[in-house]
Amino acid sequence: LITYVYLLKHDDTMLEGRINFTAGVCILCVVSLGVGLAPLISPNWGKFINQRALNQGHFGPWQVCITRTPAESLCGPHHTRFRPEVWTLLAGISAALGEALMSIVCVTLALTLSMMKTKLRVFCNFKSAIWTQATTSSFASFCAILSGIFFSLQGDMRSLGYNVLRGWAFYIQLVVIILDFVVALGCGIILHWGRSLGGDPTLYSRDPEGDHVHTITNPNFKESKSSVPNGHSAAPLPSPQPIILANGHPLKSSLKKKKAAPVENGDLTMANPGFNPNSPSFNRTGSIKKVRIQTQSTDV
């Protein structure tokens, strides 16, 4: 068990193993709840024997019975003078409180197991469920221990000639103490897993190591080349974007217009962007007039 818990602690990918462990703790909780009902309703926590009156019987937290024959018993306070001490009543109250708390633990364990299987919230938050079951199981185990301690304080009634022996229900209560302690330990382990990174299955499954990351590629993507003839990429700085340098200076905007060609012979040339040399020419008949525009302020 220790090796299994160690492996589950150090391998966050073993979700199925954690589910099996939680299911085992849930089954153990149900067993503890069923076993704990036997001493709770039984009047066989102890036996009393009176050697002088030659009578004997058995008792529990709630009633006292005298044995007439091996097959016949009469229960009630008016059949015998033996009266249990207050410790026996406190033992029964502690056992009943422990059973009530353990029933809550069984319900929260079932909810936790359901959320681990479906990875969805079921009636409550996952963290609330594991905290509730861990705290409640600890109190249930404490109540079971108190029940055994209280009944151990039940002594003999030597003034009336009664000797007290422990009955089978008391020893079953000792078994319940062990079962409750194991359930509380299992709930503590589940709480430790739930508090760790990625322990809540109802949230987004986090992968800090990146072992289960999915890479999506675009087969049609082509890396574009640099449009700067003499440019090169500098070494990456703390900023994720590299700086493109050209001839030792930052690259200027590519949208800036190029400089006009120098004017030769003092003639001004104006480019026609819509000119097409393949377009048909116009044949004009008559005189052709040439116009020259001259200005001193601006270039035309």
3-class secondary structure per residue, 174-192: HHHHHHHHHHHHHHHHHHH
The answer, as to whether pTM is greater than 0.85, is: no
Query: CA nearest 152: which of 93, 248, 87, 196?
Result: 87
Gap between the Cα atoms of 46 and 262, Å rounded: 121
Of 127, 133, 128, 125, nearest in space to 108 by CA: 133
Mean pLDDT of 95-120: 87
**DSSP conformation class of 157:** B
pLDDT digits 0-9 by tens, 65-97 = 887 766 667 777 776 777 778 888 898 899 999
- Structure confidence at residue 179 (pLDDT): 92
Sheet of 162-166: strand order equals: 72-75, 64-69, 55-59, 46-50, 162-166
Do 200 and 121 meet the contact criterion of CB atoms below 8 Å apart?
A: no
C-alpha 187/C-alpha 130 separation (Å) is 7
Cα–Cα distance for residue pair 43/58, rounded to 1 Å:
7
Beta bridge partners of 72: 69
> What pLDDT is recorded for position 130?
84
Please give the pLDDT value at position 10. 45
Residue 46: which of 156, 122, 136 has the closest Cα? 156
Strands (E), the chain: 46-50, 55-59, 64-69, 72-75, 162-166, 231-233, 244-246, 249-250
Q: How far apart are CA 144 and CA 167, in angstroms?
A: 17
Cα 137 to Cα 1, 35, 173, 266, distances in angstroms: 20, 16, 16, 102
> Which residue, 199, 109, 188, 195, is CA-closest to 141?
188
For domain 15-195, give the CATH number.
1.20.140.150
Q: Count Cα neighbours of 173 within 13 Å in the Cβ-side half-sphere.
A: 36
pLDDT tens figures, 222-251: 666 655 555 555 555 555 555 454 455 555
pLDDT at 2 over 50: no
**Torsion, CA 2, CA 4, CA 5, CA 11, rounded to 10:** 140
Provide the token pair at 111.
């909810």
* H-type alpha helices, the chain: 2-10, 15-41, 86-118, 126-152, 168-195
pLDDT for the residue numbered 6: 47
Q: Tell me which of 184 and 294 has the higher pLDDT.
A: 184
Quote the percentage of the chain above a pLDDT of 70: 57
One-letter identity of residue 41: I
